[in-house]
Amino acid sequence: MQHRADVVVLGAGMVGVSAALHLQQRGRDVILVDRLARAGEETSYGNAGLIETASVFPYMFPRDFGQILRTALNLSPAVRYALADLPEFLPWLVRYYLASAPHRALHSAMAELPLIRRSRIEHEALIAEAGVPDLLRGTGWIKLFRSDATLGTALGDLDRARQYGVEADVLDAAGIAAHEPNLSGDFAGAIRFPAPGFVPDPGGLAKAYAALFAKKGGRFLVGDARTLEREGTSWRIAGSDGAIVAREVVVALGPWSDQVFRPLGYSIPLAVKRGYHLHLAPRGNAVLTHPVLDSDQGFLLAPMTKGIRLTTGVEFARRDAPPTPIQVERALPRARDLFPLGEAIEPTPWMGARPCLPDMLPVIGRAPRHPGLWFDFGHQHHGLTLGPATGRLLAELMTGETPFADPTPFRAERFE
């Protein structure tokens, strides 16, 4: 059996499903391909659930010497690295550091700003069409600070972000208690960001979008993206029940995108920031309303459908290295001090990988040397946030529409 379409989208996470929907809306016959039979089962499943309209500045390499030293000594609660893997990812870290120079970081922020501003709008449209309003809450999120120093730095960052339309409320201890009465601790203050959306089941939202895609006539097939090859004027992939053939193909494989672009001769510097989460039951009648980041201790609690999700910061290690959930183990007693947490709901922490480029911008657009090949990957910490926005931008480029944002900063050629 052979399956034919106008476009094949490789990867059924939030980024791939969103691209498939936007292409479908523009009249393309699309096949969505993943190695798993359900959407949103990997990177898109494990995150803080935020549609982060307040993060106008990407997560760049720190410039503070004390913070760099703590990270180098593996003492930072928010960042850890595997010493054995250091030779592999150190060259990428150097590129990341250089791309984080203030003027270059500002360039990345301004390039991504139109996507950030569009992110919740695009999600709201898809959520309405998919009929899942319960998967978007308008709570925003809260960032806690335990010292005057960290609060002061954050307030300086907030002043800068407000220049680009970010709204926030600064909370004292009474304000924190009013919004989240079950939190405990000595806090210098907090910042509440009201505009970001919160998704209590990110993997479920990806599945809802995939169901919408299928309802509108799209096909979701299991296949192996690593088998992608050029066949005349088309692209061919081995599927579980026959070949999948299309004129155009979109690589939206997140941290696995290199398994396709490297064999084709592209040296795009894709790396991963690994992360972990664990779901726990709240104790007694305790309720958490907002996602809450304990910025000084490097973890976040989010009130997911499955339970309270404890998420960690960043682990630099090989994508496929065995899990080392040390950050979860260190954060768990601190999280129990912050909020009344009961037993773990799952036996072991989940691990995922955020696909990152050194400038913290995704690659979106045409592959420079292969007709019909398109890229949509590298969304760093913002795959859930940006998936529908970058899906729209990519679909506009592929169908000849005027793009809503300047695509130039996202071109793959910037690394050549």
Summarised one tens digit per residue, pLDDT across range 259-300 is: 999 999 999 999 999 999 999 999 999 999 999 999 999 999
> Quick one: pLDDT at residue 86?
87
> Quick one: pLDDT at residue 63?
79
Instruction: Decide the pairing of beta strands 292-294 and 234-239.
Output: unpaired
Sorting pLDDT into bands at 50, 70 and 90, what band is 406? very high
CB 376 within 8 A of CB 16: yes
> Quick one: pLDDT at residue 84?
87
CB 360 within 8 A of CB 354: no
Summarised one tens digit per residue, pLDDT across range 89-133 is: 899 999 999 999 999 999 999 999 999 999 999 999 999 999 999
Residue 109 is assigned to a structural domain of this protein: no
Provide, rounded to the nearest whole percent, the portion of the chain with pLDDT above 70: 100
Question: Which run of H or of E encompasses 292?
Answer: strand 292-294
User: Domain range spanning residue 16?
Assistant: 2-44+203-268+358-415
Cα-based distances in Å from 325 to 80, 99, 314, 329, 349: 10, 29, 11, 7, 7
Q: What is the CATH number of the domain that holds 280?
A: 3.30.9.10
Same-domain check for residues 334 and 375: no
Say which DSSP state 78 is in: S
pLDDT of residue 68 exceeding 80, the answer is no
Residue 14 is assigned to a structural domain of this protein: yes
Residue 124 is assigned to a structural domain of this protein: no
Same-domain check for residues 339 and 366: no
Three-state secondary structure readout of 103-124: HHHHHHHHHHHHHHHHHHHHHH
Q: What is the CATH number of the domain that holds 383?
A: 3.50.50.60
Same-domain check for residues 38 and 150: no
Give the total number of structural domains in the chain: 2
Same-domain check for residues 263 and 366: yes
User: Tokens for 276?
Assistant: 């972990």
Residue 216 is assigned to a structural domain of this protein: yes
**Which amino acid would we find at residue 237?**
I
Same-domain check for residues 323 and 190: yes
Say which DSSP state 406 is in: -
CB 43 within 8 A of CB 257: no
Same-domain check for residues 150 and 245: no
Average pLDDT over residues 394-401: 98
Strand partners, 224: 238
pLDDT of residue 58 exceeding 90, the answer is no
